[in-house]
Structure 1
Amino acid sequence: MTTSRSNMQRFGIQVVHAVCTLCATSVLAAETIAENIPVPSGQTLSFIEFITEAEGDILRFRFLAPEIGIAFDYMDVVPDFQMVCDEHVMPVLDENALAPSQIVLSMSAMDIPFGEDNPDVLQFFEIFRSENGTCIWEEF
């Protein structure tokens, strides 16, 4: 998995095939990792990883948000999800001809491995679908 870090505002992706210990998935690793992504709440996010499931039908974008639960609660960060999806995720999908039926965005107070349950680490999730180049929030 490529994990080079830079201060780029957007991230490009490179397809890397791997086998998840929980399920057979393809992991799409970041060619460049976005750090210090400014969002409407005033916090800054860092990109953790990008994972595809169900043969590309579900895409997950994971972000580190160390201040959630301390300085920011869920209602503070709701607008952040929409902005990140529209301004950072959609360009990646467009540039790589990806058309998932579901986009799952997550913010985690700590970088924990995907699929690991840690009750001490706060995580927020939102689901979107792509429609006409825009992220549409999906209530779940």
Structure 2
Amino acid sequence: MTALGGSVAAQDIPVPSGQPLTFLEFISENDGDRVRFRFLAPDIGTRLTYADVFDDFQVVCDQQVMPVLAANALSPSQIVLSMSAVDIPFGEDNPDVLQFFEIFRPENDLCIWEEF
């Protein structure tokens, strides 16, 4: 992540599922009110299901995303995390590529899961 200080590790992010997880992209929307962190997760849909990686979202948000937000004095009201089986451009719809999304709100230096 070159646009922000206190970077998310580029690859091999440690997560409960043990899956290989690589940071792809940071996107700020609505004047910083919503931030997106996109990750490559090639094992989803083949070796791992959504249930297998659900806990990974919380760990990534708390341990990787929150320090980056703090280091860059960002205070969004919404954090969107996504995992994609293949690196496709943001906003592009490809029905052959599995993607998982979770939404959080930052509160007291932690990520609070927002069911959607």
Instruction: Report if TM-score (shorter chain) is over 0.5.
Output: yes
Summarize the alignment of residues 69-80 of structure 1 with structure 2, pairs less than 5 Å apart: 69-80=45-56
Summarize the alignment of residues 1-140 of structure 1 with structure 2, pairs less than 5 Å apart: 13-14=2-3, 34-140=10-116
**For structure 1, which runs of at least 5 residues remain unmatched after alignment?**
1-10, 16-29
Deviations 1:51-102 (A, max 9, x none): 0000100000000000000010000000000000000000000000000000
**Which residue identity is paired with 2:59?**
M
Contact 1:47/1:64, CA 8 A, preserved across alignment: yes
Calculate the TM-score normalised by the size of structure 1.
0.78
After superposition, the CA RMSD in angstroms is 1.7
Q: Which moved more, 1:33-42 or 1:108-117?
A: 33-42
Runs of 4+ residues over 3 Å off in structure 1: 30-33
Contact 2:57/2:102, CA 8 A, preserved across alignment: yes
Q: Using the alignment, how far apart are the partners of 1:32 and 1:65 within structure 2?
A: 15
RCO comparison, higher one (Cα < 8 Å, 6+): 2
Q: Secondary structure at 1:130's aligned position in 2?
A: strand
Deviations 1:74-133 (A, max 9, x none): 000000000000000000000000000000000000000000000000000000000000
Q: Secondary structure at 2:89's aligned position in 1?
A: coil
Taking structure 1 as reference, are residues 86 and 38 closer, same or farther at Cα in structure 2, changes over 3 Å only?
A: same
**Higher percent of residues as strand:** 1
Calculate the TM-score normalised by the size of structure 2.
0.94
Contact 1:33/1:48, CA 8 A, preserved across alignment: no
Q: Using the alignment, how far apart are the partners of 2:84 and 2:29 within structure 1?
A: 19
Taking structure 1 as reference, are residues 64 and 137 closer, same or farther at Cα in structure 2, changes over 3 Å only?
A: same
Taking structure 1 as reference, are residues 39 and 31 closer, same or farther at Cα in structure 2, changes over 3 Å only?
A: closer
**Which residue identity is paired with 2:33?**
D
Q: Which moved more, 1:82-91 or 1:36-45?
A: 36-45
Higher gyration radius (CA):
1
**For structure 2, which runs of at least 5 residues remain unmatched after alignment?**
none
